[in-house]
């Protein structure tokens, strides 16, 4: 049975949030651990979906907490605790520029599996950047009638620029839509980009937000649909390229895209981190943190959190491929288009 410690209410103001303890309650590692664990217990949204026994983790970690732990050792203990969540939307910050992101090792590893220089030099003719948007660039595949769009984030000032790009691609036979290393952003931006490729209105997911102390306390689900404009859509073959660092709003984008008949996903499985994150939470020792507060459900009630989008064709690069100026993900996508759709 876990011990309950009376603590003051955690005040959640994004700009100047601060945790207050009763004056008679000393600041100890044990007090901080209890506050940290209890806040997750009452507000984190994905225990059931990620099959996490939070009480069992308490029983495992709480006995390791003592006042002899150095700040570094206590940081490592809390980091190890949240690593069990395998949720890169859950992050611990020390307030001095250092952070620990849960479940991030494979995401970070994938950084070496793609190279802008290789894409520019080997695959795409005159890759043009759209400066109003975050990491949006496009061009033609060398020697092929295939357009290429790179989208590294779901953020920017003018998502409707995608229609201008598609107009430039009006004569192409297919588009490679590269969302590898997509760091997420705004789900509404993702929906606006996806609309340019839509083949109709589809129910694609629902969202529920944790709203009570029990692990199954959630508000009513809200449904989300793809948008469609028959006058502004690209209906030819589309290959979406993904990797382990395709995350969050990048994965929401894929929920839209995968509902369209002319879309196939090639690459690595995505991160599997969909949820909206909390406002910043604060600990009395000056550390702060965030975590997932929602669950995203497919129309059949299942969740891809902790799973990710599994590609139709699995392939990923190695560092050696990149060093040899080869991108096997792009190669596989081109081979698919050439073989399946007889594209020149």
- Closest by CA to 37, choosing from 56, 11, 17, is 56
Provide φ and ψ at 148, rounded to 5°. -130, 130
Q: What is the pLDDT of residue 16?
A: 38
Q: Are 244 and 236 in contact (CB under 8 A)?
A: no
Helices 71-83 and 54-61 meet at what angle, rounded to 10? 160
CATH number of 108-276+293-340, picked from 3.30.499.10, 3.30.300.30, 3.90.1640.30, 3.90.226.10: 3.90.226.10
Q: What is the pLDDT of residue 341?
A: 81
Task: Give 24's pLDDT tier (boundaries 50, 70, 90).
Answer: low
Q: Are 32 and 7 in contact (CB under 8 A)?
A: no
Does the pLDDT at position 21 exceed 50? no
- Closest by CA to 40, choosing from 95, 99, 87, is 87
Does the pLDDT at position 8 exceed 90? no
Q: What is the pLDDT of residue 25?
A: 62
Query: pTM score, two decimals?
Result: 0.88
- Closest by CA to 313, choosing from 248, 253, 271, 263, is 263
Predicted confidence (pLDDT) per residue in 192-242, tens digit? 999 999 999 999 999 999 999 999 999 999 999 999 999 999 999 999 999
Q: How far is CA 52 from the centre of its chain?
A: 20
DSSP state of 144: S
Predicted confidence (pLDDT) per residue in 250-300, tens digit? 999 999 999 999 999 999 999 999 999 999 999 999 999 999 999 999 999
Burial of 222 by CB count in 10 Å (0-12 exposed, 13-18 middle, 19+ buried)? exposed
Q: What is the pLDDT of residue 27?
A: 86
Does the pLDDT at position 1 exceed 80? no
Q: Are 49 and 305 in contact (CB under 8 A)?
A: yes
Q: Are 216 and 121 in contact (CB under 8 A)?
A: no
Question: What residues are paired with 281 via a beta bridge?
Answer: 289
Give the count of beta carbons closer than 10 Å to the beta carbon of residue 177: 25
Helices 54-61 and 29-43 meet at what angle, rounded to 10? 170
Does the pLDDT at position 20 exceed 90? no
DSSP-assigned states of every residue in 68-131? T--HHHHHHHHHHHHHTT--TT-EEE-SSS-EEETT-HHHHHGGGG--HHHIIIIIEEEEEEET
Q: What is the pLDDT of residue 14?
A: 35
Q: How many angstroms separate the CA atoms of 236 and 245, rounded?
A: 27
Question: What residues are paired with 128 via a beta bridge?
Answer: 138
Task: Give, rounded to a whole angstrom, the gap between the first and last alpha carbons of the chain.
Answer: 67
Residue-averaged pLDDT of the chain: 92
Does the pLDDT at position 15 exceed 90? no
Predicted confidence (pLDDT) per residue in 136-186, tens digit? 999 999 999 999 999 999 999 999 999 999 999 999 999 999 999 999 999
DSSP state of 173: S
Residue range 76-87: mean pLDDT, rounded: 98
Higher pLDDT, 24 or 253: 253
Residue range 106-125: mean pLDDT, rounded: 95
Q: What is the pLDDT of residue 155?
A: 94
Does the pLDDT at position 4 exceed 70? no
């Amino acid at each position: 049975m876990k011990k309950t410690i009376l603590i003051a209410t955690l005040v959640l103001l994004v700009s100047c949030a601060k945790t207050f303890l009763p004056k008679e309650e000393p600041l100890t590692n044990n007090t901080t651990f209890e506050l940290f664990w209890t806040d997750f217990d009452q507000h984190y949204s994905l225990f059931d979906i990620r099959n996490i026994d939070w009480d069992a983790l308490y029983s495992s970690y709480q006995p390791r907490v003592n006042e002899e732990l150095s700040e570094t050792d206590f940081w490592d203990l809390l980091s190890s605790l949240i690593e069990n969540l395998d949720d890169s939307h859950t992050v611990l910050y020390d307030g001095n520029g250092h952070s620990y992101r849960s479940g991030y090792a494979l995401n970070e590893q994938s950084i070496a599996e793609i190279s802008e220089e290789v894409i520019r030099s080997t695959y795409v003719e005159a890759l043009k950047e759209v400066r109003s948007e975050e990491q949006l660039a496009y061009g033609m595949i060398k020697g092929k009638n295939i357009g290429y769009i790179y989208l590294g984030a779901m953020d920017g000032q003018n998502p409707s620029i995608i229609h201008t790009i598609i107009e430039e691609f009006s004569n192409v036979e297919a588009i490679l839509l590269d969302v590898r290393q997509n760091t997420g952003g705004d789900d509404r931006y993702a929906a606006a980009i996806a609309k340019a490729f839509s083949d109709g209105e589809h129910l694609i997911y629902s969202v529920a937000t944790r709203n009570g102390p029990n692990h199954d306390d959630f508000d009513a689900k809200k449904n989300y649909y793809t948008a469609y404009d028959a006058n502004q859509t690209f209906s030819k073959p589309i290959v979406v390229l993904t990797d382990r660092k395709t995350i969050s709003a990048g994965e929401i984008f894929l929920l839209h895209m995968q509902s369209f008949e002319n879309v196939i996903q090639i690459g690595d499985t995505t991160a599997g981190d969909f949820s909206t994150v909390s406002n910043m939470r604060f600990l009395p020792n000056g550390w702060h943190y965030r975590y997932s507060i929602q669950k995203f459900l497919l129309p059949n009630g299942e969740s891809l959190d902790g799973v990710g989008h599994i590609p139709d064709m699995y392939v990923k690069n190695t560092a050696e491929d990149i060093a040899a100026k080869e991108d096997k993900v792009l190669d596989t996508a081109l081979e698919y288009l050439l073989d399946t759709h007889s594209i020149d």
